[in-house]
Structure 1
Amino acid sequence: MSSGPRCLVCAQPCLSPRLLPCLHSLCARCLRRLGPLGEPGRAAVTAAASRSVLCPVCDAEVALPPGGVGQLTPDYLALSRGGAAAGCDLCADGAAVRRCLTCEADLCLFCCQAHRRQKKTASHAVTELENSKDCSQAEKPCFCPSHPAERLRLFCEQCDQPVCRDCVVDGHRQHPYDFIGNVIHRHGDALRELLKSTQQRMGTLEGVLNQIDEVGSAVRGRMEAVAAEICLFASGYVKAIEEHRDRLLKQLEDLKVQKENLLHLRKAQLQQLLLDMRTGVDFTERLLTSGSDLEILITKGVVASRLAKLNSVAYNTHPSVEDRIQFFPQERAGQCRGYELFGTILNKVVDPARCTLLGEDLHSTRQNQLTGFTLLCSDTTGEQMGRGGETVQVTITHKDKRDCAVKPTVCDNGDGTYHISYSPEEPGLYAVCVYVKGQHVKVGTKAVATDTKVILAAPTGHAVDK
């Protein structure tokens, strides 16, 4: 028995192994020690109340069934690989030491004694477990946990679980059911399709991880190019310029570390997702190739839930980081040792959420009169960009006449501000939308809405009340 599968946590032979929703199998001893969110030394009943634990193998937070760890799906696949320390088929708690040849059930010492005291089973032939000639889990019948004397031969379609004849009469009376042999093909095929989809996503995920390595190489190459440019610029100066150069290189190195750390974090997250997928795929493949029909049906619920959850995780298939790092040799950089210094590194990125629109003409104007307002672009810290070059798009349309649009003019002032001018030809209500990098810009003062700005236009010489 010691040559069989061992628990991934305690490394001891698996005793009554059960599956966590992440598809890692734990023995009964480790399950009893599993506390809330994986805390050791707490009773399993406390874990049942918390409804979630941390898997001690992959550190994933997994939800427990309503009954707690005791209601986790048994890992029949681990037992079927041979040599595993099987649990008692009646109490599912103690280790099996004997086998009833009449019932074809493995019994712990306590249940064996009870088996012999009952009139109904007193005449059954019981032998030592190691003397049993046929202990194969694939051939050994599984008994109903609610009716230990009945074998699981039927499958309840409504409850999506194997049941026995007494279950059908008792709690599943009005539920549609069928024999396991009649439904295994349909459920097995569905699980195979889910497996195929997960395998395809694994291939895509591996490709994304390769792209991250390529992006990291490109970022490092860009950093090296900027460093060479900085060194070339600073080579003509003496100590003051050399100190300035060193400061610039340190600043650039900090940016490099920052961006590489971001890439490393994304890579680690995707690697963990890939590892979880591999675990799910490996287990599912073993289940479909080595498990019996009953084992597939018993386990397929937790397996399908895990694979579906992994498949629902979203990730960017084109990973990148902001690489708009530029060196401006003509920018003033203050003084050092009495010398006026030039050359700065700019890493500002415009944040559309922090850009604002300013000007009273956002709200009213006159027909055929040229007017306008100002767009102020800021970075992620709320500081004005201080330079132009951003992609700004403006649309102005009549609210009642869709074919009546005003063509605005956008003037880049080169300091992070843009002047938008327009002249409405028709009176009425207009909608103005301003986009920076394809995202809506909010109004700074007297805002009407986040993504829609209202203008009131009237015939020449007549203003309209708001």
Structure 2
Amino acid sequence: MTEETILSKISGDFLECTICLEPFKGPKVLPCLHTFCEVCLEKFVAQQDAVKDKFPCPTCRTDTLLPKGGVAGLKNNFFVQSLSDTVKTHQSLVGKEDDKVQCNVCEEEVASHGCVPCEEFLCDECACAHHRAKRTRSHEVIGAAELKEQLIAKTGLLKSRSLPMCPKHQDEKLKFYCKACQHPVCRDCMALQHKDHSYGYLADDAADIRTTIKGKLAAVKPKIAEYQDKASAVAKKKAEVDNRSKKAEDDIDAAANEEIEYLTGLVRQKQTELKEKLASITAARSKQLSASEDSVESTLGCLSSTVDFAQKVAEHGSDFDVMNVHADVAARLDSLLKAPTPVIPDSISYVLFDPKTERNRKRVVLGNIVDKEMLTEKTEEEDESRPEATFRFTVENFSKLEKEKLSPAVFIRNLPWRICVKPWSDSSKKSLAVFLKCDADSKSLWSCRASGELRLISQKNGVQTFTENVDQVFYNKGKSWGHRQFIPWHEVCDPQKGYIKDDKIVLEAYVKAGVPCGEKEIVLDKLDLSDTGEDLKEEEVAEEEESQSEATFRFTVENFSKVEGKKISQTVFIRNLPWKIFAKPHYIPNTNNKTLGVFLQCDASSNSLWSCHATAELRLIPQKKVVQTLRKKLERVFYSNANNRGFPEFAMWEKVCDPWMGYIKNDKIVLEAWVKVDAPRGIKEITLGNIFEEGMQEELEGEDKSRSEATFRFMVENVSKVKERQYSHPCFIRNLPWKMYVARRDIPDAQLPNNTSLAVFLQCDAESNSTWTCLASAELRLIPQKKGVGMFKMKLRKHVFHEGESWGFREFMPWHDVCDPNKGYIKDDKIVLEAYVKADTPRIVA
């Protein structure tokens, strides 16, 4: 590589500022070793809005502390300046003829001499003056051609023995090195600012420092190879991500095409069914009309022929002819007059097609976009329809717990699940009670079978988690199941046991839930929105109910300074749900401070459960130029029991009311909400049946298709101590909860030992806003627990059940027979009952 090539490369890599892209002017070096023009740095620092005593490097963003003198106080990059001067010297000398080198002093005459220490070319006259000057009298002066060769060789090797002048003392060169401050200084600097510091000649220390730098370079260079490998790995990973993304895109297209083909098939099938049904109805009605048509035409023919004959006889017949047929004609006309007029049945009407334009369709689910982490770790708000989840609840101030405490809700199968804790005391001891609770707020029937574990998490190494299983049917009348005596209270409160720390305990629940029974997906456009305060025309409602997934809307609050209660905006429909902004004053407890509270509300009024995940940004819009919009973001799940989310302390009241802040004008403020909503999830009220008219025989759509019969068992423990009713868990048949209950009944006037009996009843306690009935038959059985003993059973003939009604046998079996071990029905003070139930479709009667 030639000397000129080396210089050219250095010029391109080192001698241009990366800010202005021009050769350095007053280069300043930062601690990260990046160099910039002094002027460029001053402009860059002035543009920074962050901390004033430091600024980030424009190249690597490393923070640099700004010295007292500002940018001017940063270190000068003498190396870059020297390289720049060397390159300029080389460029000016290479290729220039010896007799054309100009004098560096007068810049008029051609140089004939050159000063070696000053590295300056001199003409004859300037050379004489240079020799006469006291400071330069001793300098070595040689020929111009010889100096030119020396300078070219020196710059080609990129070495310079010349020392820069001190920026503070212009007549002194920086030939000393202060070891305390670690930078070059001149003689005057040593005498004034560094007189107590350790120092030496720059040249003496340079060799050692150069060796140290080379040693560090040798250690650092492998790092470059390591980062190059990392860069290759990142590029490879990026290519892999792109390839996987392309494959995922292809998979989405394939899934979409498959779903389109499947759905198209379903639509075509429905189309064929509708056409066949239409043809059948049309054929039946045409046949009925054809029969009416035949009857009318036959009667019309008889009338016409009789009238024609009678008229001709009366007008043209002789007296004999008239008298001869008079009796027959009169009788025939009388019979035709008395005959009833044909009536077309009212039931025969036009056939119409209702295209079902209302937006009540389920959303299409092709699949989901997942990454590796999502497959192993699911968050609470990931998917409310998930079948299982694990969640925790930290109970603080545990020693002061006196009443029930609930965890936040976690949605599983679209139902809100919580952990419930409370102290439980009986006559002997105090325990910690832990329950799993499903407090879905719905006026319709629902049930959901769930299993899992309730856990008390250890907070001490070596102590195992305390667990209890739960496996129950949850429904609207029995919302929580668990363990009253989960763990003794004193064990929880004992720090040595490892379950309590800083007066806190941590509970965990793993819940796996089945698909809820008795309720279907919500029909959102059926929600009762009568309380939204809107009076929209039908056309406007149709436009509003477009199922847009996001929207931005504003709300102007007038007479703001006088606002005391809640102010609510008009409704905007997103995903067919009504969304509003509401604002109100909020007083911070224990202070005199007042804030503006801003909330997003979804007040869909529905008797059924629903949930909806939404992302939003609430904004206070400025009414003055230059003032920035005040924004706050939120991401929450809205549902029937928590339909508003926002910020009680959105902004300080005084700040909003101050005209200088720019948010209020003419006593009005403007709020704005951007809302993006996922597809809502929910459950529709149960369809118990239909209101039938007399004679109606067609099977209507929407009839319940759940099982019509089932057999379930009930183990009764501590039979000898039974006094009050003991109920079994519910078994759902026709989406209604059926139970058995047993009791001990005294029989009046009966003789010992038959004066007491085991009573067994079947009960259906479905709770609904409607009055319902259900026709059912059953067989109640007492299961033997001894070989050779037959099952004891009694049949319940068909009976119409309604809410809360029970039907069964007060004298199912004598009590002494039940309790006699020799009879074979009792074992360990337990008996087993069984019920077989067959139910018809329930009917709503009011």
TM class by smaller structure: 0.3 to 0.5
Higher strand share: 2
> Which one scores higher on RCO, CA 8 angstroms, separation ≥ 6?
1
